[in-house]
Amino acid sequence: MSKDHRVPPADVSRIWGGRFDAGPAAIMESINVSIDFDARLIEQDIAASQAHAAMLAQQGIISQADAQAILGGLEHVLEEVKGGRLSFSRTLEDVHMNVEGRLAELIGEAAGRLHTARSRNDQVATDFRLWVRDAIDALDRAARDLQAALIGRAEEHASTVMPGFTHLQAAQPVTLGHHLLAYVEMLGRDRGRLSDCRARLNESPLGAAALAGTSFPIDRRATAAALGFDRPCANSLDAVSDRDFALEFLSAGAIMAIHLSRLGEEIVIWTCERFGFLRLADAFSTGSSIMPQKRNPDAAELTRAKAGRVVGALVGLLTVMKGLPLAYAKDMQEDKEPVFEAFDTLSLCLAAMQGMIATATADPGRMRAAAEEGFADATDLADWLVRIKGLPFRRAHHVTGALVKAAEASGCSLAALPLDSMQAIEPAIDEGVFAVLGCDASVASRTSEGGTAPARVRLAAAEARRRFLAP
């Protein structure tokens, strides 16, 4: 036998070693190996292999005996995985070959028939879609739990008056319940984006093989159905090279992380001594190593900070994918770690936020006192001048500004400004104005759909339960 046809030595990779005379350099193994992170796909890999083996036997591509041996062996491997008894080899590069390697140890030569009519390209694309689908379902449940906590606290505080802010300046009084329900809506959109992503990713790449399909008489619809996909991917090139589903998952995750960060920021503000609107439970607070009086909202701060990880994961994968020609390239091995990290980060932050919201204690007195500062009922006065006295809004706005200036000079609220002082600025004002001044009157008047009136908040909370929490 000539040198060109010698079987490579044992240390050459047995995955693809027939083409090579020597094994990879140590640094090549280090940059190429993925088992250190793609081991997370192992249950999905086994499920896809089981569907593939059953289909091969159904189509007469492998014998029923080999299929039964493969399926039984894969079930044994899955039991080892769940029992924490399976060890991985970096020499076998990835999760797929580690599963196949262990299968060969269990059932012998029949294991080599499992890879008939597929490639690691369609195999990993299938596994990854299955994993992301499971991740979406888990995040949806966690987001729903946070919504449930927010809705519960919103119902509790439907009438709790607090300042509403624009530019972080007191703007108009709202209720705490109304404020919390805003985050319920954000999370609802987050769940909707994840649901949309799930619907689009639910096509099976299995059977696309390396890039061009296969000459074996496979049944791609059978494997798609067995794995819970809606249909096979329509184009084999697209099937193995598409990572839109990962990008869309990260896009939805990045927006969710920003929403959690915004809520985290508000908790940081509300718990500081200058505001004092909220007190976190001891279970979600930390102390200082030097200042014994401190109660730090570290969980909220870390939730705020961790948004950067998820946004960074999205930007990183966008950069990986931006210039890749069809079809598969090894660059795509870099797709999994950012997705895994984003999922872990979001799961942690959702759980932490749910715990903070469910156990925090509000201080209605501090909230009301803050709402009564800063002339937050000025808009109500302007609206009264338009609605009752018929002033054009721009004129009413100017008059109200002058009344605020007068109250500020007198060191009193608008409600405490004497009627004659008001009439000196606008003679049309009468004692009826006092019915709309003050936080309670202001909040109660906001009865438009989606408004902050307590009755509206209770209705909105009930509707949110129906929309987001109903089975």
Q: What backbone torsions phi and psi does residue 175 show, to the nearest 5 degrees? A: -110, 155
Active site residue 204: no
CA dist., res. 83 & res. 96, Å (int): 19
Helices 378-387 and 393-410 sit at what angle, rounded to 10 degrees? 140
Active site residue 288: yes
Q: Nearest-5° angle of CA 162, CA 167, CA 170?
A: 30
Helix (H) or strand (E) holding 112: none
As given in the structure block, the two tokens for residue 69 are 């041996």
Active-site annotation holder among 2, 5, 87, 167 = 167
3-state secondary structure of 391: coil
Q: What backbone torsions phi and psi does residue 440 show, to the nearest 5 degrees? A: -60, -45
CA dist., res. 231 & res. 399, Å (int): 65
395 Cβ contact list (under 8 Å, min separation 6)? 385
Active-site annotation holder among 30, 63, 89, 288 = 288
3-state secondary structure of 162: strand
CA dist., res. 153 & res. 150, Å (int): 5
Q: What backbone torsions phi and psi does residue 411 show, to the nearest 5 degrees? A: 70, 35
CA dist., res. 45 & res. 429, Å (int): 75
Q: What is the CA radius of gyration of the chain?
A: 31
CA dist., res. 405 & res. 401, Å (int): 6
Contact 236, 209 (CB under 8 A): yes
As given in the structure block, the two tokens for residue 351 are 């759980």
- The set of catalytic residues is 167, 288
